Structure 1
Amino acid sequence: MTASAEHDLVVEARPPAWSRPVVIGAAIIAVLLLGAALGMFLTQRALSGDDQAVPAAGSIDVGFAQDMSTHHTQAVTMANWERDHTTDPELKQLAFDIESTQLEQIGRMKGWLMLWSQPEQSTGAPMAWMAGPTGHGGMNMGGSPAAAGNGLMPGMATDAELAKLRSLSGKELDVYFLQLMLRHHQGGTDMAQYAHDHAAQPAVRTLAQSMLISQGAEMDQMKLMLAARGAQPLP
């Protein structure tokens, strides 16, 4: 075989440039569908086994599924950007792990909301489902959700911070991603803890506990990764 023929075979075997985003997009859809199917299955089993009422709008179960889905969506966005733009294998793996885990959890929560005939996003104030006289979780002493002054849920990045993340490269990108994602995980802890302690649905409490465990381990990992790069968490 001539060198020219060998070259032609290599070119033909190489996947087209457009195939990578198509494959990634298909994988994301598959993870969301898997999570939704799992969420619907577990919820149906819980409802039939415990004969519980379907959660209503404004309940802890519905509010948690709506707000945590929104919170997770931003984490997936940041992780997707880091995975595609970092040159550090350790950061690439962390970003992939966060993206895949939280995509599956989003799918599960959206599956619940579909079964409960509730919208995917709340029309009220963020974390209003945590308001009450007990002062738990993400509430301040006045009994109202302790959302950030910019109206975002705790830990979420602003538009300016996301723009800065997209403007960086190399070590600066990696450090800023770790700082934003660590704060993001920390901000979602109160929601997960409150749902774990007060949600009516066993499936919701189980998922909240899973989030606390997995994100707790990731927070420890991110702190070590920041220290190894001579950086500190955001104040």
Structure 2
Amino acid sequence: MANPSFAARSYRDDAVVLRTHKLGEADRIITLLTKHHGQVRAVAKGVRRTSSRFGARLEPFMVADLQLISGRNLDIVTQAVAKGAYGSSIAADYSRYTVAAVMTETAEKLTDADVDSGTAQYNLLVGALASLSRSDHPPELILDSYLLRALATGGWAPSFTNCARCGAAGPHTAFSAPLGGMICSNCRPPGSPAPAPATVILLAALLTGDWATADGSESVHRREAAGLVASYLQWHLERALKSLKHVERS
């Protein structure tokens, strides 16, 4: 007969693998973003052995249906069924790999303490990884769109139309990460960058998912938008992302 305490601690959820690191000779600690339980850290026992039944299902960027047992410090993965095999196609291309690394690092930072937005962040990340694996759009555009949407989901939605500080109708010519996006001349702090109008249009398209506009943008505006997105991200996360410096920009 099954141990009642064992059964009571068991749960099932869909999850995307954010990060892994070695534990002992054959195990791994897996950082997961689950659909219904937020961010979870769990042990996958024996996963590094060639005979492991988990195999590649618990590699970064993979989406799986998992059975877990709650533990005091770390949960334990007891079953894994692949749902989204994005890891291999992403890892095969350097530009896609570095973009995915930024996405998962961002998701980990945003969901570390925020339980309420866990399901929305999970859905957003899985959608972005799927799009990246299919090469639906240029990797850098998928990344910047994901970052803007993830921040918006976390409560830091930028404004690219009305003034982010006073609400005055736009368009405006200055950008401020601390103030939340585009700002009017009355609210503009000294030294604020003044992005090109086409860059502001691109940023708004990335936030709203207007891919026709985003895909038709020029590289000069993509690079400028990327710099603004990075500054906005790092301001609100209050830390730099280690993986962001490796992303290649066209």
TM-score by length of 1: 0.33
Structure with the greater relative contact order (CA < 8 A, sep ≥ 6): 1 or 2?
1
Output the TM-score relative to the length of structure 2. 0.32
Structure number with higher strand proportion:
2
More helix by share: 1
